[in-house]
Homo-oligomer: A and B are copies of this chain.
């Protein structure tokens, strides 16, 4: 007798595989392929000896070792939560009191990813709305789709999220009566994944003011994803949006130790409005009753000893050099093709490349196949846009280039290969009708 089928939930049916996992699989099975796809970090600069020393110190004293090997608490190791709060406030040049926040409102999670997930669970019913940037972090779009949330997007310019467009969207939603469904405005406001763009300084308090203005019947919260903040190349840091949230009421600030330290610790953190803390902990308690206690104790050691600050400084220098390298390679390889444009980020490890509108760099386009033949892969920018109601993406001429893990040699060679993959595609084909670029 054949076995009866497993019945999956509605949520499971809404939950797809990551759009780039097929690409990553291809990269793994193609030796010599240069990957600008997965957002992995630079490996030679990982804090190997630093972590070894911290582990030795932590585990040499049975008292500290046992505390690290026992169960932790759901919100996370308290001393690390205190240090995290101080890190964020120091970066913003304020005291925790200035944003009415204590370590009680700091949550440690399995990467900042888990915070994004938990927050959606806490706030959103199917059919609710989250506003994101266009383009935005595609994994988050996947989370929202899984949770049945409707995503509306707002275009960006060189200064990040376009606040005029956001205001227009909010006014339109107010007019249609859908404003009550808006739960969150999501922004990756430092060296954004995927574009590398940063929200301009003057827009930060303005964004908060917009959220406050439209929070008439219920609160519209801002989810500030500062995952790449520590990777600024320059010395000057921009104030967070959180910094202006003096009553700790509107902004959830989340970041991670993955980028400036090591992803293997799988530890992110968030500063959240007080009323959110208990609901988030209740959910997290059901998920895992707390992320890895051992790695939290290790990080507490690394932060407390000053090693973390030095590590972040070291990593910034690494990515600064890599960014110079990729921009130089792009300038060199694409010098003869001025229609191609790219961002020039001031931090992080993403560059966003815009090809002429006729060129299909999307997952089923010609370029991605040719690129693999040439030995290079990228993330089609289409993945970072929300498809229209027909499932189509209107922008297929964009590319996310991640230079996190590639060496400088690989970066130069990879861009050379990418240019080679484009040969012959520079001009619109007679039979190909160029698509118009439509913004949401």
A binding-site residues for B, Cβ under 8 Å? 3-12, 15-18, 21, 38, 40-41, 43-44, 46-49, 51-52, 55-56, 59-60, 62, 65-66, 68-72, 109-111, 113-114, 117, 121-125, 128, 139, 142-143, 146, 183, 215-219, 221, 247, 249-250, 258, 262-266, 273, 275-276, 278-279, 281-283, 285-295, 297-298
Contacts and interface: CB of A to CB of B under 8 A. Distances in A.
B71 A51 contact: no
B46 A52 contact: no
14 contacts: A3-B250, A4-B217, A6-B276, A7-B123, A7-B218, A18-B289, A51-B69, A111-B289, A114-B288, A264-B294, A266-B292, A287-B287, A292-B294, A292-B295
Contact of A264 (B9, B69, B114, B266): B69
A263 B69 contact: yes
Given A48-B65, A291-B292, A121 B9 contact: yes
Contacts of A49: 59
Contacts of A124: 9
B219 A275 contact: no
A300 to B, nearest CB: 13
Contacts of A6: 123, 218-219, 221, 273, 275-276
Contacts of A44: 66
Nearest to A142: B286
B65 A279 contact: no
Contacts of A286: 15, 113, 117, 139, 142-143, 146
A102 to B, nearest CB: 17
Contacts of A262: 69-70, 294
A59 B48 contact: yes
A292 B114 CA distance: 12
A46 B71 contact: no
A40 to B, nearest CB: 6
A266 B288 contact: yes
B40 A5 contact: no
Contacts of A143: 286
Contacts of A62: 48
A291 B288 CA distance: 11
B7 A183 contact: yes
